[in-house]
Structure 1
Amino acid sequence: MAGNGNAAPIIIKRKKVVGGGGHHGGAWKVAYADFVTAMMAFFLLMWLLGATTEKQRKGIADYFNPTIPINRVSGGGDGAFGGDSIFSDESFAFNGSGQAASTQGPDTKVGGDDGGSNQDKEEISKLQSALSGHGGESAQMKSMLSHVVTRVTDEGLVVELFDTEEAPLFDADSAAPTPLAMDLAKMIAEVFQASKNRIAIEAHVKAYPVMMVKNPSWSLSTDRAQVMRQLMEVAGTDKERIARVVGHSDRKPATSDPTALRNNRVEIILLRKNR
């Protein structure tokens, strides 16, 4: 027993093993995060494809194209948004070959020019100035002209009349003109009396929900164009000067939101002599 007291003590070491075997460490978390991010991107892409128009999708695609310069204010060219500013639904640059510019009086957009005769250009310019000059006659006239945008295009002088929340041109979802539409038609007919050029009338309407059983946009735009033709003729426009009356439905929205009220508009075009 005495001999056993000199024996070395037995020491038991418990070694804790730390390894990457438990669920493969944290690598699975990184892979899962990548998967979730990819799925979010996929569903966002699917939502964009279903919620945007062809024009909007092209604008988004062009925005990420580094070869196209992006300016805060649109110049009316064929850049990322085809001449439309992404910062305002109330300012509309003309989608044409020229630079957009505005002047006093009714908002004026100047588009491309096909090099028509100087006489033709001067006549259109005088009519545009005459239309702008109506703004100083009275407060009522200024209010009327807040519904007017003019621009010069390859076709001629375009006078665009559009709805606002406070004062539409036609009763809701109908072709019944309001007193505002009648007054504007009379004013434009008087200004256009100074020219013998032919006239085109084109109407546009906002987009209606796709789930509607009967979409009225085609018939409504056509009816409104016809009503504006009748108002112009009653105001003194020679019916022989009317070259065409067209309804565009909701196919050419003026804003990024196709359902916006601003898309309800009528364009009265004083055509160039060679048109």
Structure 2
Amino acid sequence: MVSHANAPVIIRRKKVVGGGGHHGGAWKVAYADFVTAMMAFFMLMWLLNATTETQRKGIADYFNPTIAVNRISGGGDGSFGGDSVFSEDVFSRNGLGATARHHDQGERARGASAPGSHGEAVGDEMRDLAEIEGKLTARSGESMVSEHLQRHIVTKLTDEGLIVELFDLEDAPLFEGSEATPLLEDLTSVVAEVFLLARNDVAIKGHASAVPVVRAENPVWDISIARAQTVRHLLERDLPPARVKRVEGHADRVRSISDPMDVRNNRVELILLRHRL
């Protein structure tokens, strides 16, 4: 019978590597990188959808600063971004039509425009209208209107275009009934001269102050329309008649002064209409 009393005792030690060791938090770093990348991606998608071509160009230039040669990058490396001052003439002679920046009449009729050019065209047109406004109000320092006439003029830029309002004063009416006074003739002559600086179409709106007499038929409708027509005839002495697109009479419905019988409500609006892009 074999005795095991003196048999050696063998102890086996097993090394256990825990899950919270050196590499236990690596997944957190990877997940954080993934979330950051996704946030950057969604911000990029939002920026592409919420900005114009010009704004995107500005953002790109911010991260890639260079010395600007021209405002909009072109396909060429010349100072005109791929175009020259003779591009329009060259393309016309070659039968290629107008450039992307200056479309021909056919393309405009089809609504063609250069990428990102809509906002710039609107901005350019509003600046042109503001410059014309300055000719009437002396904001440009080169007013074409005398101080005697300027007190009858109010201008404002709207989505419809440049509105030039000519109105009566207590001591200086523009109309005798529906006939123009010499003062109104001088005013419309100056306005027409300024409108000749642009090619925009023109609309005319006549307004009249309320009358105190109650009648079966309110005469202010006929008065406002007749006065608008009178101004149209005066304008067409200097402007091409085809530029006048609308002639309207609004009676006493749209007031400039809250008192309906105030003479200031006797007025005519001449609107240099915006081009519809």
TM-score range normalised by the length of the shorter chain? 0.5 to 0.7
Q: Distance in 1 between matches of 2:123 and 2:140?
A: 27
Aligned to 1:271: 273
Letter in 1 for 2:136: L
Q: Distance in 1 between matches of 2:182 and 2:273?
A: 26
Aligned to 1:155: 160
Q: Distance in 2 between matches of 1:190 and 1:169?
A: 19
Q: Distance in 2 between matches of 1:129 and 1:135?
A: 5
1:186 aligns with 2:158: no
Give unpaired runs (5+ residues) of structure 1.
1-114
Aligned to 1:124: 129
1:220 aligns with 2:223: yes
Note if contact 2:134-2:140 (Cα within 8 Å) is conserved in structure 1: no
1:206 aligns with 2:209: yes
Note if contact 2:134-2:141 (Cα within 8 Å) is conserved in structure 1: no
Q: Distance in 2 between matches of 1:135 and 1:273?
A: 23
Note if contact 2:131-2:140 (Cα within 8 Å) is conserved in structure 1: no
Letter in 2 for 1:150: T
Question: Matched residue of 2:203: which SS?
Answer: strand
Aligned to 1:97: none
Note if contact 1:135-1:141 (Cα within 8 Å) is conserved in structure 2: no
Among residues 238, 241, 247, which one is paired with 1:239 in the alignment?
241
1:249 aligns with 2:251: yes
Question: Matched residue of 1:117: which SS?
Answer: helix
Deviations 1:99-148 (A, max 9, x none): xxxxxxxxxxxxxxxx661221121011011112399889x810111000
Q: 1:196 to 1:135 in 2, by over 3 A?
A: closer
Note if contact 1:134-1:141 (Cα within 8 Å) is conserved in structure 2: no
Letter in 2 for 1:226: Q
Aligned to 1:24: none
Q: Normalising by structure 2, report the TM-score.
A: 0.53
Question: Matched residue of 2:166: which SS?
Answer: strand
Note if contact 1:136-1:142 (Cα within 8 Å) is conserved in structure 2: no
Q: Distance in 2 between matches of 1:202 and 1:122?
A: 24
Q: Distance in 1 between matches of 2:127 and 2:255?
A: 31
The within-5 A match list for 1:4-83 is: none
Q: Distance in 2 between matches of 1:253 and 1:162?
A: 12
Letter in 2 for 1:119: D
Give unpaired runs (5+ residues) of structure 2.
1-118
Question: Matched residue of 2:186: which SS?
Answer: helix
Question: Matched residue of 2:235: which SS?
Answer: helix
Aligned length: 158
Note if contact 1:206-1:250 (Cα within 8 Å) is conserved in structure 2: yes
1:230 aligns with 2:239: no
Q: Distance in 1 between matches of 2:261 and 2:140?
A: 30
**Percent of pairs with identical residues:** 44
Q: 1:247 to 1:117 in 2, by over 3 A?
A: same
Aligned to 2:263: 261
Aligned to 1:105: none
Question: Matched residue of 1:197: which SS?
Answer: coil
Q: Distance in 1 between matches of 2:233 and 2:169?
A: 22
Note if contact 2:135-2:142 (Cα within 8 Å) is conserved in structure 1: no
Deviation of residue 163 (structure 1)? 0.2
